[in-house]
A and B are shown apart, each in its own frame.
Chain A
Amino acid sequence: MTRLASFLIIGLLIFGCGTLSAAETNLLNVSYDPTRELYQDFNEAFTKHWQAKTGQEFSIRQSHGGSGKQARSVIDGIEADVVTLALAYDIDAISQRGLIAKDWQTRLPDNSAPYTSTIVFLVRKGNPKGIKDWDDLIKPDIKVETPNPKTSGGARWNYLAAWGYALRQPGGNETSARDFVAALYRNVPVLDSGARGSTITFVQRGIGDVLVSWENEAFLALNELGPDKLDIVAPSVSIVAEPSVAVVDSVVDRRGTRAVAEAYLQYLYSPEGQEIAAKHYYRPRLPEVKANYADRFPAIALFTVDEVFGGWAKAQITHFAEGGVFDSIYAGPQ
C-alpha cells in the first residue's frame, strides 16, 4: 500500500513538471466547424512565413465547434487570440462583452471576411428525389438535414438563404417567406448542434434526402467520402455567406501577442492565403485567385444579409433570438 502511494505521488510529480515546462509562444485560433482542413494548411503556411520573416518560433493551436458555441467559449474565457467564426453576429456577441473593439468589422478589408461561401445542397448520388431548388425541400416526402440555428452559424445562413429565396419568388412577402421556412423545418428530422455533425449525420448515418450545407463543406464531404455516393446541387438563388475573422483585443493585449495575431489574419488576404482558401472550396476575394478557380464554383444568383435582412444584428434579433421567428416556427421533431 505504501509503495503504491509513493508510486502515485512520484508519477504525479513527473506529470506535473511535464505540463509546467510545456509553455511556449503560441496562438490560439477559435474557429467554427468546417474550417478544420483549411486552417490546418493555412497554419502551416503562416508559421513558415512568420518564421522566415521574424525568426520567431511559435505554434498555432486550433479549436473547432459550432460557431455560436465557440463564441460562448470565448465569452466564458477561453484564451483565443483570434476568432475565425461563421458569421459576424457571433463576433458581435463577443464584442458586446467588451473583449473585442466595437469597430472590429472595419479593421480588415471586405467586412473582415477574407473569403466567402454560399449555401448549396448535397444529395445522394444520381439525385433520386430530383431536388433542384429550394421549393423541392418543402415537398412532403423529403427529409432535410440542417443543423440548429441556435448553435450553428452555418444553420443560420441556411435559414436566411431559404427565407431570401422565398421572398424573391413572385408574390413573395414576409408571410409567405415565414410559411415557406416553417414548411422546410417541418421536414427536418434531426437538428445537430454544428455543421460538421450535420454532415456526418447525412453522409455516415445516411439520414435525410438532402443536406443544406456550406458550399465548402459540401465539396469536402464529396471529396472525403467519395464522389460516387453524393452529388452537389446548386439552387437558383442563395446567400453570400461571409465568415468573419477578428483579433480578440483583451486576450492579445494580456498575452502580448497582438503583432503576430494581426499578421496572422492579414495573411489570410495574401495571395498564398487566398490560394489556400480557394483550394479548400472557399470563394476567394482576390480577383486573380478568383479567376484561377472560376470553374470550381457554380454560378448562383447571390444576395447578401445586408440587402435582404438589414444586417446581422437585425436578422439575429428577428429570427434567432429567444422568442424570435425560429422559435415560433420550430416546435421540435414532428
Chain B
Amino acid sequence: MSSANIVLSVPQRPRIVSTGAALRWTLIAVALGVIGLLIAMPLASVFAEAFRQGADAYFGALGDPMAIAAMKLTLIVAAIAVPLNLVFGVVGAWAIAKFEFRGKSFLIALIDLPFSVSPVVSGLVFVLLFGMQGWFGPFLIEHGVQIIFAVPGLVLATIFVTFPFVARELIPLMQQQGTQEEEAAVALGASGWQIFRRVTLPNIKWALLYGVLLCNARAMGEFGAVSVVSGHIRGATNTIPLHVEILYNEYNFVAAFAVASLLALLALLTLAAKAVLDWRLSVSPKPGERKT
C-alpha cells in the first residue's frame, strides 16, 4: 500500500495513529452502545413481548381475522402505492436529470415536499379535499364515491408520504451519469422507448430497486397520515400499524406485539435487502464501462 510509505516518511505519524485508534474505539463503543440501547433493545423487546405467552398465543394473534384483514389491506395499499410511485419516480427523475427546462428546481422542491411536511398534515390535506366538508366531498358523496375513511384515501395518503423515495434515489445517480450514452443512442437512431429500456434503465436498475425498497418499507409502516384518513374501522380500514395501536389500546398486549413483530420483520428484511443492494450498487458498472 502506498500509505505505508507516507507513514514511514513522517516521524510523528505513529503517535497520531495511536491516539487516533483510542479515539476510534471510543467512538465505535459509543455508537454501538447507543445503537444497542435505542435500536437493538427495543427491537428485541418487541419479539420478547410477542412471545411472552408462547408460540401458540403468537400465531393465534396473527391468525385473528382482524389481523389478517389488516395485513391484506396493508399489502393492497402497498401494491397500489409502490408501483405508482415507481412510475412517478422514474419519470420525474428522468425529466430532472436528463433535460433542462424552466421550473426544474420548483419541481425538485415539490418532489421533496412530502419529506418536510408532517404526516398528520399530509392526511388532513386529503380530509380537506375529499371530506364531506371539503372541496370535492359533497360531489363525491352524491355520486356514491367514498375516498377518505376507505381504501382510496389510504392509498392516496400513502402515495403522498412515499412519493420522494424513488425519485430522490434516482436523481443524483442519473445526474452523475450524464446524458452521453443517451445521446449516443439517439445518434445511432434509437427511439425514445428503446433508449429508456436499453440504455437508461440498465444503468439505474439497482438504485431503482433500492428506492422501491425504501418506498415499500415506508408504505407498509406509515402511521400518521394513514391514521388521519382511516376512520379506524376494524376489518375495513385498519392497516397493520393502526391495528397494532388498537390492540394495544384494548389491553391486548401480546397480540399488539405479535402484529408489531411483522413490521419489525419487514424492517429486518428491508435492511438485509438494502445491504445486498448497497453491494450491487458499489460494483455496478459506471457509465461507459457497461458491457452490452
Residues of A within 8 A of B (CB): 1, 5, 8-9, 11-12, 15-16, 18-19, 28, 30, 33, 36-37, 61-65, 73, 75-79, 97, 196-197, 200, 221, 224-225, 254
Contacts and interface: CB of A to CB of B under 8 A. Distances in A.
Contacts of B235: 61
A79 B132 contact: no
B131 A62 contact: no
Interface in B222-270: 231-236, 246, 248-251
B140 to A, nearest CB: 8
Interface of B: 72, 75-76, 79-80, 82-83, 86, 127, 130-134, 137, 141, 144, 146, 148-149, 151, 201, 205, 231-236, 246, 248-251
Contacts of B72: 15, 18
A25 to B, nearest CB: 14
A36 B236 contact: no
B75 A1 contact: no
A158 B142 CA distance: 40
Contacts of B248: 200
19 contacts: A8-B79, A12-B79, A15-B80, A61-B235, A62-B233, A62-B234, A63-B233, A64-B246, A64-B249, A76-B127, A76-B131, A76-B149, A77-B133, A77-B141, A78-B231, A79-B149, A97-B132, A254-B141, A254-B144
A78 B149 contact: yes
A102 B146 CA distance: 25
B290 to A, nearest CB: 15
A64 B237 CA distance: 12
B79 A63 contact: no
A225 B251 contact: yes
Contacts of A79: 146, 149
A12 B80 contact: yes
Contacts of A77: 130-133, 137, 141, 146, 148-149
Contacts of B131: 76-77
Given A15-B79, A63-B232, A254-B144, 9 more contacts: A8-B82, A8-B86, A11-B79, A64-B232, A76-B134, A76-B149, A77-B137, A77-B149, A97-B133
Nearest to B131: A76
Nearest to B130: A77
List the 6 closest pairs (A to B, CB-CB), nearest first. A77-B132, A76-B131, A78-B149, A224-B251, A78-B231, A15-B76
A8 B83 contact: yes
A63 B127 contact: no
A75 B132 contact: yes
Contact of B133 (A8, A64, A75, A254): A75
A73 B151 contact: no
A1 B201 contact: yes
Contacts of B231: 30, 63, 73, 78
Given A63-B232, A65-B232, A73 B205 contact: no
Contacts of B86: 8
Contacts of B133: 75-77, 97
Residue among A8, A75, A78, A200 facing the most chain B CB atoms (10 A cut-off):
A78
A97 B251 CA distance: 35
B83 A73 contact: no
Contacts of A33: 249
A167 B121 CA distance: 41
A310 B201 CA distance: 71
Which residue, A5, A12, A63, A64, has most C-beta atoms of chain B within 10 A?
Answer: A63
A30 B232 CA distance: 9
A73 B232 CA distance: 10
A9 B137 contact: no
A221 B251 CA distance: 8
Nearest to A65: B232
Name the residue among B130, B144, B246 with the largest chain A CB count within 10 angstroms.
B246
B121 to A, nearest CB: 15
A76 B151 contact: no
B132 A61 contact: no
Contacts of A97: 132-133
B143 to A, nearest CB: 11
A62 B235 CA distance: 9
A334 B74 CA distance: 40
Contacts of B246: 64
Contacts of B130: 77
A101 B79 CA distance: 41
Contacts of A5: 83
A75 B133 CA distance: 7
Contacts of A28: 233
A197 B249 CA distance: 7
Contacts of B250: 36-37
Nearest to B236: A61
Contacts of B149: 73, 76-79
Given A77-B132, A77-B137, A79-B146, A9 B249 contact: no
B53 to A, nearest CB: 15
A73 B230 CA distance: 9
A64 B146 CA distance: 20
Contact of B132 (A12, A19, A76, A196): A76
A61 B233 CA distance: 6
A307 B86 CA distance: 62
Contacts of B127: 76
A254 B83 CA distance: 35
